[in-house]
Amino acid sequence: MFELDLFFYFEILAYLLGLSATLALVSAIYLKCHRRLSSLPPAQEQRQLAELKPDDLSAGLKRRKNFLIFPNSNLWAATDSFLGKVLGIGHAVFLAKQQGLTVNSSPIVGSGTSKTLSPSISGSMGENPDRPNAENHPKVTASEQLEEDLLGEILAGTESPGGAEFFDALVSHLALALGVRTAVAAKSIKSKARTDAAADRLQVISFWSDGQQQPNFECETANTPEARVLEEGMYSCPDYLLETFPEDRRPVVTGARSFLGVLLKNSYGEPLGIICIFHDRPLVEAHLAKFRLILNIFAGRAAAELERQRLEAALSTVEAKYCALVEQMPAVTYISPLNRKAAKLYISPQIETFLGYSVAEWRADPDLWLKLVHPEDRDRVLVENATQKFSDGEDIFCEGSLVSEYRAIARNGRVVWFRDRATAVRDEASKSVILQGAMFDITETKVAASALLESEYRYYTLAKILPVGIFRADAAGDCLYVNERFLEMAGLTAPKALGEGWAQSLHPEDRERVLSQWYRAVTDKLPCKLEYRFCNGDFTTWVFWQAVPEMTQSGEVLGYLGTLTDISDRKQAEFALQQAEEKYRSIFENAIEGIFQTTPDGRYLSANPALARIYGYESAADLIANIQDIDRQLYLDPNRRVEFLRAIEKHGFVSEFESQVYRADGTTIWVSENGRAVRDPDGNLLYYEGTVEDITLRKIAEEKLVHDALHDMLTGLPNRALFMDRLGHAIELSKRRPEIWFAVLFIDIDRFKVVNDSLGHLVGDRLLIAIAQRLGICLRAGDTVARLGGDEFAILLENIKSSEDAIQIAERVQAELAEPFYLNEYQVFTSASIGIVCSGFPPYPRETRKLSSPENLGNIDRETSLSCLSSDSPVPNAPFPILYDRPEELLRDADAAMYHAKGLGKARHEVFDLSMHTRAVALLQLENDLRRALDSQEFQLYYQPIVSLITGKISGFEALLRWYHPERGVVSPGEFILVAEETRLIIPIGWWMMRSACHQIHEWHQKFPANPPLTVSVNLSNQQFKQPDLIDRIREILQETQLDPRTLKVEITEGVIMDNAESAVAILAELKNLEIQLYIDDFGTGYSSLSRLHTFPTDALKIDRAFVSRMTEDEGNEAIVQTILILASHLGMDVIAEGIETSEQLNLLRALQCEYGQGYFFSKPIDSIAATLLIESQPKW
């Protein structure tokens, strides 16, 4: 069994460690010889064994002491001869004794003579006809018998022992049998200091002397008889031993006189040791020869024993090494029956490390292996074992093998993967009887393989979903693998893309370049980066190809891995960027604005041609070369550049930064700059960039606009805005320095409207220009004259000493304006009414109250102030010093003084005093009351009937406004209409009046249906007539009240029409389109042009009451009335006579064929209730 084990160990070691098959071959030779010879007939065994060479068997003989198990004596006989050849032993009888054989005859190898041993020594093996028997040998002599007896005695003493006991028995029996004092067996050894192969020391392995075993020792051989033995092979000193070796002082030679020793050699003739005897008496020649023979005989046996011991020790060392190596291997080795359910014959200790079960547990439980195989693998492994077929090869190690991979569950529950590799060993009947195998832990390999599979799966999954193409190429550059994204970009299928097929989709313009660079990179074993286009159907895809070589550690290229990225968007962006850059360059070169980049220290980095033109240089290069200090070379004020950069630092940019700069020729221009700072990612300033625009013309235009905004376009004088600004400064200065006085003259040109209407606007404009020039002549240096609008002018006199200074200037103005104006062929005379306001008057006490302020309105008696609006009673003409806060207040009082002067006869001047102020406050109070009256519904409509003079019946009513003041009672229109006009309150009042009148007449239509229906007349103010939504508002009122528009009559004065002469025709036409009747009110009192009367789409004229009331007393008035009636008749218009108060007037108008009339003769204005009763009474005149 050992031989089989050892072979298996050799095989496993060769498999695991990659060792040479030599070790396995050594064991194989030995086992092969054993098996073959044991199965052959005796004659054939002897023949084949004799043919073996010593080297074939020596390796096997060195493995173990009981290495041959021969089944018959013939095999032994042949082996005996062969052992003699191999080991160089003279006689192998001791081997025969170990094998339990009887020695019949054997040659004796000695000192040249041949002897035979007694055939009486027999074994138990039985007779063999092939072996020679005693009858075939001659008789022996007495001397020979003695030798045989000695040999038999010694042989009997050394028959059983082995190892150290053998030498003890040998030396003791030699000494006793030969009758000598001392016998010694020793091994030859070499000192470490010796460099040659000769032995110079002896190690005594058995020492018999004086009838007992003595302690062994070690000694040097120099100058000893043993040295002669080592040199000569055999040496004897019959006598005088001490004298022959006088330097030998060892105890072993003490008292000895003779010596005999024999060299022990191995089969190769190499010295192993010696056997020697010492005696205290001389050795006679007769004894000496026998002793030599006997020592020679046993020298072979002793040499064989030494060699065996040496080989056994070496074998033990090798076995220990190989066992240690096997047990340290990362595998479990085992020997088991072919039926794995049986108990293991052998299993290595590693099994406990792998699975946690000891060797003892494995031997005790035959089913343990099957129990530990993973349930999922158990059936498969059993099937693999049951179906394994073993071949009939000559080499036992190739006869059959089983490799299986399965999982086992360790004691701690851990799952261990094993690769189980077993070899079947056949018996003589060629059946597999045992398995010798090894179980390798491949858990890490399996885990790694699983991880690799998972990694590969993830890789292919990733390659499938990644937005980039992935490819793999071989070392020649041909594609082996591409993912789906690659195929999408290339527009190919997988079969067509492999190899060089991917190149089919290359753009024709890129194909040669791409293939050349790719295969050059492959040839040079270098990475490759390319950008090219795939033609995919109707569109082109730009891709970035990047490949790197896969290389071994030795530098061999296995292939290439690469990616393919769709860079179409980037290419499109690059193309767009290129276009943008070209566009920018074009814009840069052709822009009308200057574009620049400057350094922080004030030098130009770049400039476009427009910037050079703006600054007066021939080219941008010329500009950059000449301007080295922008601050001082360009800016009139160098600090402007500092302010420009400071603004950029503060805000990051600056826009519309305006400065005056020098041109190359020294002239100055205005520029507007936009700029920003450009910084690197770390925030460090790189440069400034921006644009420059020449705004000189714009600046001139702005200055003109400012001038025009503050000056009158016609006269060139300051306008109201500039005048009010300067007046405000004068007021503020007066507040800070009360001793400095000023005055304002408000000038209104008398009868300017007459000139304008009669001679035309062109002449009127020339008159205004001439008046402005004359006013300038009248002023002092520092005074301001302004045109406020129309024919109104104002003069600001600053730093006057008294009101007399202002009065003198006013008189001078009146004198200048009294002189005739020569305007082309016209000679025009005019005059001016002037109102004067002074900031302070020394002769009078200076009051500090501000009467113009709303909170001080109560300081004036209300009745006094309101009476000033209608009373002509004189007020003391005393100047009243007032403190003004706002220019508007002062100008308002100057205007009041001017109207007072105009009311006193025109062509004069008046200084604003207390009465005027009181009147102004009263007007303010009235204005406030008017605003409240509209919200408080204090207004009421009265109706005065309009009578048909033909039928004498009422044809309609005129709606008249009345104000029921909560304190003053009824306020007549003459008292508040003017204020309402000035404050524009007349607009909401007028719309209320029209809406209310329409509601009322609609109600009367429902209550008093007539044919024709009653009409209502409503006055339309000048302010209403100018409203842009006039038509829409009237249409809205008609729709709201559901009134028939033909029953609404709108009365408009001549002044309204003439003030809006240009637009009046169009407005009146739109009103006519609404089917409204249009009346011209107070006809004959205004400034209407009879030549244009027929162009107005009016329906009737209303003769003013001034003509009607005097027509019976003055023939001139009657003529006027008659003329109006004739004119209206020719124009197809009706006529309504106002102010009929007597029957004489009525009769005369009827005689003149006037159609309609109204007045107190018929009825005073009455409220709606009284008017309703009047309609019900159906009066007739």
> Could you read off the pLDDT of 504-556 as tens digits, one per residue?
888 889 989 999 999 898 888 899 999 999 887 777 889 999 999 988 888 88
Note the residue count of the chain.
1181
For 626-677, the DSSP string reads H-S-HHHHHBSSTHHHHHHHHHHHHHSEEEEEEEEEE-TTS-EEEEEEEEEE
Fold equal for 152-310 and 328-447? yes
Residues in contact with 846: Cβ distance below 8 Å, sequence separation at least 6, in sequence order: 840, 881
Roughly what angle, to the nearest 10 degrees, separates helices 164-178 and 142-157? 150
**Alpha carbons 476 and 389: distance in angstroms, whole number:** 45
Dihedral angle sign, alpha carbons of residues 1019, 1021, 1026, 1028: negative
For 432-459, the DSSP string reads EEEEEEEEEE-HHHHHHHHHHHHHHHHH
**Alpha carbons 460 and 246: distance in angstroms, whole number:** 94
What CATH class does 937-1177 carry? Answer: alpha beta
Q: Is 1048 exposed, middle or buried (0-12, 13-18, 19+ CB in 10 A)?
A: buried
**Alpha carbons 471 and 528: distance in angstroms, whole number:** 13
Query: What are the distances in angstroms from CA 51 to CA 79, 85, 871?
Result: 11, 11, 176
- CB of 300 within 8 A of CB of 109? yes
- CB of 208 within 8 A of CB of 181? no
Tokens of 507: 């753009």
For 679-710, the DSSP string reads E-TT--EEEEEEEEEE-HHHHHHHHHHHHHHH
Cα 753–chain centre separation:
78
Rounded to 5 degrees, what angle do the CA atoms 669, 674, 677 make?
130
What does the domain layout of the chain look like in residue ranges? 152-310, 328-447, 466-572, 591-701, 711-931, 937-1177
**Alpha carbons 952 and 974: distance in angstroms, whole number:** 30
Q: Write the single-letter amino acid at 749.
A: I
- CB of 659 within 8 A of CB of 635? yes
Question: How confident is the model over 442-483, as pLDDT tens digits?
Answer: 999 888 888 888 887 887 777 777 788 888 889 888 888 888
Tokens of 1124: 């109006």
Tokens of 1000: 């009322």
SS3 assignment for 88-112: CCCCCHHHHHHCCCCCCCCCCCCCC
The torsion region of residue 937 among left (phi > 0), alpha (psi -120 to 50) and beta comes to left
**Alpha carbons 1134 and 1080: distance in angstroms, whole number:** 11
Rounded to 5 degrees, what angle do the CA atoms 431, 436, 437 make?
135
Domain 591-701 sits in CATH 3.40.50.12170: no
- Detail the DSSP E strand segments found in 537-614: 539-551, 557-566, 594-598, 604-607
Tokens of 1082: 């107070």
pLDDT computed for residue 949 by the predictor: 95
Residues in the chain predicted with pLDDT less than 70, given as ranges, are 1-164, 192-198, 338-342, 387-400, 426-433, 840-883, 920, 1061, 1085-1092
> For domain 711-931, which architecture applies?
2-Layer Sandwich (3.30)
Within 10 A of 841 (CB to CB), how many other CB atoms are there? 17
Cα 901–chain centre separation:
83
CATH of span 466-572: 3.30.450.20
pLDDT computed for residue 106 by the predictor: 33
Among candidate residues 441, 435, 428, 447, the one with its CA nearest the CA of residue 385:
435
Q: Which fold has domain 328-447?
A: Beta-Lactamase (3.30.450)
Within 10 A of 228 (CB to CB), how many other CB atoms are there? 19
pLDDT computed for residue 431 by the predictor: 56
- Phi, psi for residue 974 in degrees, rounded to 5: -60, -20
Superfamily the domain 152-310 falls into:
GAF domain (3.30.450.40)
pLDDT computed for residue 108 by the predictor: 30
Mean pLDDT of the chain: 80
- Please tell me whether residue 826 adopts helix, strand or coil conformation: strand
